[in-house]
Structure 1
Amino acid sequence: MPHTSAEPFPLIAAIDLGSNSFHIVRARTDHGEIRILERMGEKIQLAAGLDESRMLSEESMERGLDCLRRFAQLITGMPRGAVRIVGTNALREARNRSDFIMRAQHVLGHSVEVISGREEARLIYLGVSHSMPDMPGRRLVADIGGGSTEFIIGQRFEIHQRESLQMGCVSYTKRFFADGKITQARYGQAYTAARLELMSIDQSLREKGWQEAVGASGTIRAVALAIQAAGRGKGEVNADGIEWLKRKIIKQGEIDKLEIEGVKPDRRAILPGGLAIMEAIFKALDLQEMHLSEGALREGVLYDMIGRQHHEDVRERTLSALAERYHVDKRQAERVERRALKALEQVAEPWGLTSEAYRELLTWAARVHEIGLDIAHYQYHKHGAYLIEHSDLPGFSRRDQQMLALLVRGHRRNIPRDRFAELGEEEGESLIRLCILLRFAILFHHIRSNQERPAVTLKAGPRSLEVCFPVGWLEQNPLTQADFEQEAQWLERIGYHLSVR
C-alpha cells in the first residue's frame, strides 16, 4: 500500500534500512519543525550479504531482522502514517528483497518502501537543507552510503541536480579488500573504479557550480574525525587530510590492524573502500574541503512526512509536471477523478478500500491515466504504464510507481491479473478493485462532455459490482449502454460480475 498523507501526528518516526547501517529516529512535530527525541543506529552491512547473483544471504537478513526487532519497541502503538520506513541500495539490488521486506513488515507492523537512488538523493538534500544554516549560494551535497553514493546540487530548498552512483563503502571494501589486505595497488584499483563512475556526472556537476560542499554520511564523518584527531583539520574533510589518511591505512596494511584515533572499530572495517571513494570525489570535483551535516536521509524522510501532512506533497507537483509534459486533457482527468472518488465512497467498506492510501492512489491514476496518448493512441495504456514505471518521479517509492503503473495499464481492455498478483494476494486484489472503479469512471465520461451526468448507485459484493442508473437513462444513451455491456465481458475474464440496470 502506498504511504498515506494522513492527518498530522504529534510523534513521528523514520527508519532507514541502509546498505551499511539501519537507523531509526523519532521526533515530535511542532508547527512544521521537528524536535528529535531519539536516534539509534546499528551496523548491519546488508550489502555485504549480496552474492554474485544479487541474492541476500539468510545470515545478513537475520542480522537486519534482529535489529528491527529492537527498533520495533520504539514504534509500538504508533499509527499507520506516523512511521515511514525506506530501503536503499542493498534492497534495490537484491533479487530476493521481497522476502526480506515481508519479514521486516511483519516485525515492524508498518510497510517498507524501497526508494530509487534519485529519490534517496532528494530526501538526503531535504534533510541537509533543514539542518544547516541558510546561505545564498549553491550547495553540493555528497552522501557515501554502503552501496551507492548520492550527489545533489541545490540552493536553499530547491534541487538543481541529483545523481546516484553505484559505489559505496561496503561494496567497494568487499570488492577490492575482501581478504582484509590494504595495498597501494588495491587502493589504486578502488580509486580508479570510483573515478570511472564519477566520469558520468563530474562535468555536469562542475558546470552547475557551488559555493559550499557538504558531506552527509558516516563515512565522511569518520574521515573528518580521523583528520581532526590527528590535528590536520577542525572537523571538516580536507584534501591534505585525505592524503595523510590514505598513507596511514596503506602503511598499516590490514583492516584488522587499523588503529585510527577518532574512528570506531566497526567503521574501520569499511574505511578503505569509503576513503577511496572520498578521494575520487575530491579529485574529480576539484574540492579542497567538505563540511559535515548532521541531517541526512532519515531527517529528510521526517520533513517529507511533515510536508505531506501539511498538503505540501512533492508527489502532487510531480504528477502535475508529468501531466503537463505529456499534454494530458486536464478537464477529462478532473471529470474521471471526481467520478472515481464518488464511486470509491460507495464501495470502500465492502471492498476493504477505506484507507486514505487507496484514495490517493485512485486520484493519482485518474490524473495521469491518459499520458500514453502523447506517444500513440494504439495501446496507449501500455505506453502510459511504461512511462510511469520507468520515469524519475520525485516523492514516489518504487512500489508506488509499480502500483500506479498497473492501474494505468489496466484502465482499458484486458486487466492483467497475473501482474496484479505479483503484489501479493491481498494487495493485488485491492488494486484490481481500484482498477475496476477507475474503468467505471472512464466509461462514464467516454464522450468527454461537461453536460450533467446522472447520479448512479453502486453496490459491491466480494466478486461483483452492480451499477444502477436512473430509470430509462441507459435506453436514451445507447453508447454508454454498449460500453458497459463490453465492460462486463472484460471483468468476467478476471472473475468479477458486472451488472447494469
Structure 2
Amino acid sequence: MLVAQATNTPSGTQLRPIDTLRDSVRLAAGLTENKLLGNDAYQRGLAAIRRFGERIRGFDPANVRAVATNTLRVAKNAQQFIHDAQQALGFPIEVIAGVEEARLIYIGAAHEVQAAQGNRLVVDIGGGSTEFIIGKGYEPKLMESLYIGCVSHSIRFFPKGNIDAHSFKEAELAARREIQVISGAYLKSGWNQAIGSSGTARALAELISANDFNGHTDGLTMGRVNASGGLITRDGLRAMKKHLLTYEHISQVELLGLKDDRRSVWPGGLAIMLAVFDELGIEEMEVTDAALRTGVLYDLLGRSQHHDMRYVTVEQFIQRYSADREQATRVGKLASEFLQQLPKPKTESRADNIALLQWAASLHEIGLSISHNSYHKHSAYIAGNADMPGFSKNDQARLAALLIGHTGKLGKLANNSGFHDWRMLFCLRLAQVLCRGRSDEDLPKVKVSDEDGAYQVSIPKEWAQIHPLTEFSLLKEAAEWNRIGRSYELNLK
C-alpha cells in the first residue's frame, strides 16, 4: 500500500510518497488445481488487508483506490474474497483486467524513471502474470498481459523447491512460447529504453549487484542504479542462472541479498526474465520500484483533476463503433435529469452514478455496428468483454448490465441477484423511450419519483394525447416493470 501527498509544482502536480506498507501474502501460491483460493492464503490476505485498513481509516473514499490483479481475475471464489476484503479494508476493491493493469504499470513507471527520447518498453513480472507495455512519454501504446508469473512459474517448474537444469530449461521455454505470441509486434514497434518495474525486477537487479554477477562493479554505478533502482544485464542473468544450478534445492542457495520472502519464487522470476531478454533481444534493463501502485495513484489523481481515462475510452468507443453522438448525448442528459430527481443513494456517490449512467447512454447503441436485431445484446457484450482502459471489471459488468437491460424484457436482470442498479436502469429506459424520435424538440416536462422501490412517471396529458406512440410505449414499459414485481405507474395529468 502506498500513501502519498499531492503537491502542486510549476510543472504540474506530483505525488510525494509519505508511507508504504508491504505484506508478502502470495495469494497466487494459494490457488488450488481447481482455481480456488485456499483457506490459508484467503486468511493471510484478509489479515493483511485488515492491517492496511487501519492505516487509511477515515480517509475520504474519493482519495482511496484499491485494485486486485491476476489471482483474483482467475480464482473461482474471488467474489466472496472481494466481499470479505472490502469489509476488512473499509473501501471498495476493483478487480482490473490484465491490459488495464499494464496501462497503470506504465503510468507509474513513466512518472518515476528519467525521461528518454522515443519509445519505452516496460516489463513487470508479477506473481501470476507479466505485463508488457510500449509507450512514449506518459502514454502507453502497446499493452499485453501474459499468464506467466514468478509464483505460478516457480510452483509449476520447481515444485517443493527442487532445482535442476532440465526443469529450468523447461521453465525458460514455456515462458518464451508465451512471449513469442507478442514479440513480433513489439519488435516492430521498437524502443530506446527498457525498464523492469516492481518486485521481481528490483530483486534481480539487487542480486546481480550484490553478488557481482556482471564480473565487475563499475557497470552498476553509472548513476542509473540510484536514479532508477538498479540495472539488469543479460550477462548478469546468465551468471545468476549458472550459480543457481550448482544447487539441488532452493533452501541451499547462498546469495548475498536473497531475502527469505523471495527465495521460493526467485527461480520462476529468473526464468521468465531470461526468456524476456532472449525473445525481445534485450541486453540491459533499467529498474524502478514504481509500478502499479504509483500508476493507480496518478490515475486517481487524474480523475480528481478531470483527466479521467474512462471518458477518453468512451469517446474512443463512440468513434470506433460510429455511434450517433447526438442521440447518445440526448439520452444521457435526460437520464441524468431523471436520476437527480430521485433520492440520493445512502452508500454510493451520486456523481459516480451519474457518470456511469452517462457512459451507458453513450455506449447503448454501439451494438448497431454489428446488427440492428438484438443490438442491445451486442452493445452489452462489447462493454463486458472489450479492453476498456480506466474501467475496472466491476465497472464493465455494471455497464454491460445497463446496456443489456436498457430495452426489451427485464426478466434477464430480475433473475440476476448481483444487479442493483435498478434506479439507473429505470432512468435509462425512460430516456430511451422518450428520445425514440431522435429529436430535442417537443419533449415534455417529466417528473419521476421512487418511493420504496415504486416508480412513478408523470407526463402532461395533453402531450400524451398528441404522441400516442410514446404513450403506448410508456404503458408497455410500466407493464414490463410490473411483470417482474416492481411497481411502475404512469400518471397523465
Q: Do the two structures share a fold, i.e. TM-score over 0.5?
A: yes
Aligned to 1:294: 289
Aligned to 1:348: 343
- Cα distance, 1:325 vs structure 2: 1.0
Aligned to 2:54: 73
Tell me if structure 1 keeps the 8 A contact 2:211–2:255: no
Between the two proteins, the alignment pairs up a number of residues equal to 473
In structure 2, which of residues 432, 452, 474 is the aligned counterpart of residue 442 of structure 1? 432
Distance 1:49 1:445, change over 3 A: same
SS at match of 1:312: coil
What are the superposed Cα offsets for residues 380-421 of structure 1, whole Å, 9 maximum, x if unpaired? 110110111111100001110011000000000112455773
- Cα distance, 1:294 vs structure 2: 2.7
- How far apart, in 2, do the equivalents of 1:130 and 1:306 lie? 13
What are the superposed Cα offsets for residues 120-174 of structure 1, whole Å, 9 maximum, x if unpaired? 0000000011111222221110000000000000110121201111100000000
Q: How does 1:300-315 map to 2 (within 5 A)?
A: 300-315=295-310
What are the superposed Cα offsets for residues 218-240 of structure 1, whole Å, 9 maximum, x if unpaired? 11111111111122251310011
Aligned to 1:132: 113
What are the superposed Cα offsets for residues 401-442 of structure 1, whole Å, 9 maximum, x if unpaired? 01100000000011245577342xxxx23x122111100111
Aligned to 1:263: 258
- How far apart, in 1, do the equivalents of 2:345 and 2:310 lie? 29
Distance 1:90 1:371, change over 3 A: same
In structure 2, which of residues 79, 90, 94 is the aligned counterpart of residue 113 of structure 1? 94
SS at match of 1:73: helix
Aligned to 1:11: none
- How far apart, in 2, do the equivalents of 1:420 and 1:280 lie? 47
SS at match of 1:205: helix
In structure 2, which of residues 242, 245, 251 is the aligned counterpart of residue 250 of structure 1? 245
Distance 1:67 1:467, change over 3 A: same
Aligned to 1:237: 232
Aligned to 1:194: 175
- Confirm or deny that 1:29 pairs with 2:10: no
Tell me if structure 1 keeps the 8 A contact 2:339–2:423: no
* Cα root mean square deviation, aligned: 1.4
Runs of 4 or more, structure 1, over 6 Å off, are: 350-353
Aligned to 2:484: 494
Q: How does 1:47-446 map to 2 (within 5 A)?
A: 47-231=28-212, 232=214, 233-234=219-220, 235-349=230-344, 355-418=350-413, 421-423=416-418, 428-429=419-420, 431-446=421-436
- Cα distance, 1:470 vs structure 2: 2.4
- Cα distance, 1:80 vs structure 2: 1.4
SS at match of 1:495: coil
SS at match of 1:251: coil
- How far apart, in 1, do the equivalents of 2:176 and 2:368 lie? 41
SS at match of 2:19: strand
Any stretches of 5+ residues in structure 1 without a counterpart?
Answer: 1-23
- How far apart, in 1, do the equivalents of 2:133 and 2:114 lie? 17
- Confirm or deny that 1:481 pairs with 2:458: no
- How far apart, in 1, do the equivalents of 2:415 and 2:443 lie? 31
Scaled by the length of structure 2, the TM-score of the pair is 0.94
SS at match of 2:62: coil
Any stretches of 5+ residues in structure 2 without a counterpart?
Answer: 221-229
Counterpart code for 1:496: R
Distance 1:467 1:438, change over 3 A: same
Counterpart code for 1:495: G
- Cα distance, 1:208 vs structure 2: 0.5
Tell me if structure 1 keeps the 8 A contact 2:69–2:96: yes
Scaled by the length of structure 1, the TM-score of the pair is 0.92
- How far apart, in 2, do the equivalents of 1:290 and 1:484 lie? 62
- How far apart, in 1, do the equivalents of 2:242 and 2:111 lie? 36
Distance 1:274 1:64, change over 3 A: same
- How far apart, in 2, do the equivalents of 1:422 and 1:287 lie? 50
- How far apart, in 2, do the equivalents of 1:421 and 1:438 lie? 18
- How far apart, in 2, do the equivalents of 1:72 and 1:352 lie? 18
Identity %: 40
